[in-house]
Amino acid sequence: MADEPLVLGIETSCDETGVGIVRGTTLLADSIASSVDEHARFGGVVPEVASRAHLEAMVPTVERALKEAGVSARDLDGIAVTAGPGLAGALLVGVSAAKAYAYALGKPLYGVNHLASHICVDQLEHGPLPEPTMALLVSGGHSSLLLAPDITADVRPMGATIDDAAGEAFDKIARVLQLGFPGGPVIDRLAREGDPAAIAFPRGLTGPRDAPYDFSFSGLKTSVARWIEAKRAAGEDVPVRDVAASFQEAVVDVLTRKAVRACKDEGVDHLMIGGGVAANSRLRALAADRCERAGIRLRVPRPGLCTDNGAMVAALGAEMVARNRPASDWDLSADSSLPVTETHVPGQGHAHGHGHGHTHDHDHVHEVSKDNLYS
């Protein structure tokens, strides 16, 4: 609908420069430049390389998104940007760019949470999120179970990994198997030709006394690495497909079991799965199966919206505008460890908010001194 907020979102928390444009819950553009190839030879994301790549990709990616959406920057109702969590230097490029665009265009600026954005993106695919929604967020940096009564203002952590993130475990096992980086997609592909029951790898934190919603993947990782080493030491071939399938099964078994349990315990009948690992085909299939049996409606965005992108940031930004949440101040800074409970970074002294219809708030712009624009 034409009266829904038109928002541009910028994402630079890791190695993708993402710029998305949405109107309300409708996706208009999703433009991405990735520096993943530049990191591959290091086996992981190199922060300095990522920051430089963001800097080079930013303006062309914004221009591509505007062209793709067929809108003019002047028509935007706000600029949203990932304020954290993520790599500090990488976030800083996005935050600085968002400030510059917002300031130059006279639009409100919304610094938003990367994790809440991973959840909110599903609105672009499946419409407004039910309230509350249970969310399983699994990426290279995070693995959490979150209860979200209101994605713009109220996200409550139920549990999280106590060591590695799920995606990190995929990446580390892929390295041991010499499959390259990132590991998730290649393990997913090889696992389809392997036997998930070939090797009984441990399921972390599933004992009766363990925290019901926390995760642990470091024991699994060690166990898989030792199993592979033993095979190599014995001069035997490593059955890569079976190892991939059995490892993947151990991860997704625990993730889905705990997510369904959290839904049942909290009486929530919707589960959303987001983050890069939500692109995993076995996770999607097992979650669908277990949710169906438990009477839970499952929502998982298409794989391209699960991994980092700008549309997810725009989706949360549009929701912030629609709900009249306060805009951020011009001294908004990147916060590499922004807590998941802080869905956005509201400014001080903006009680009137910057809701839809207040897109030309010149007072807000004139309060700014150029000194703090790039702070």
Q: Read off the tokens for 335.
A: 């916060």
Q: Is 140 a binder of ligand KG4 (CB under 6 A)? A: yes
- Name the residue among 102, 77, 94 with its Cα closest to residue 323: 77
Q: Rounded to whole angstroms, how far apart are CA atoms 3 and 331?
A: 30
Q: Is 144 a binder of Zn ion (CB under 5 A)? A: no
Selected from 108, 183, 346, 355, the binder of ligand KG4 by CB under 6 A is 183
Q: Is 94 a binder of ligand KG4 (CB under 6 A)? A: no
Site for Zn ion in 275-314 (CB under 5 A): 308
Shortest separation between residue 167's beta carbon and ligand KG4, angstroms: 3
Shortest separation between residue 139's beta carbon and Zn ion, angstroms: 4
Q: Rounded to whole angstroms, how far apart are CA atoms 263 and 56?
A: 43
Residue 81: helix, strand or coil by DSSP?
A: strand
Residue type, 134: M
Select from 30-38, 138-146, 205-213, 266-274 the region that touches Zn ion (CB under 5 A). Answer: 138-146
Residue type, 169: A
Selected from 30, 214, 242, 308, the binder of ligand KG4 by CB under 6 A is 308
- Tell me which of Zn ion, ligand KG4, none is bound by residue 30, counting a contact when its beta carbon lies within the kind-specific cut-off of 5 to 8 angstroms: none
Q: Is 171 a binder of Zn ion (CB under 5 A)? A: no
Residue number, 278 or 327, with CB nearest to Zn ion = 278
Pairing of strands 16-23, 26-34: antiparallel
Q: Is 301 a binder of ligand KG4 (CB under 6 A)? A: no
Residue 196: helix, strand or coil by DSSP?
A: coil
Taking CA atoms, 160 is separated from 136, 139, 156, 222, in Å, by 10, 12, 11, 19
Shortest separation between residue 303's beta carbon and ligand KG4, angstroms: 7
Task: Lay out the site mask for ligand KG4 across 196-215 (x = CB under 6 A, - = otherwise).
Answer: --------------------
Q: Read off the tokens for 359.
A: 């897109």
- Name the residue among 3, 29, 33 with its Cα closest to residue 15: 33
Shortest separation between residue 277's beta carbon and ligand KG4, angstroms: 4
Give the containing element (helix H, strand E) for 49.
helix 47-69
Selected from 5, 94, 111, 182, the binder of ligand KG4 by CB under 6 A is 182
Q: Rounded to whole angstroms, how far apart are CA atoms 322 and 300?
A: 23
Shortest separation between residue 308's beta carbon and Zn ion, angstroms: 4
Q: How many residues bind ligand KG4 (CB under 6 A)?
A: 19
Q: Is 139 a binder of ligand KG4 (CB under 6 A)? A: yes
> What's the angle, vertex CA 276, arms to CA 275 and CA 278, rounded to 5?
70
Residue type, 67: K
- Tell me which of Zn ion, ligand KG4, none is bound by residue 123, counting a contact when its beta carbon lies within the kind-specific cut-off of 5 to 8 angstroms: none
Residue type, 110: Y
- Binding residues for Zn ion, rule: CB under 5 A, are 139, 308
- Binding residues for ligand KG4, rule: CB under 6 A, are 14, 139-141, 167, 170-171, 182-185, 188, 275-277, 279-280, 307-308
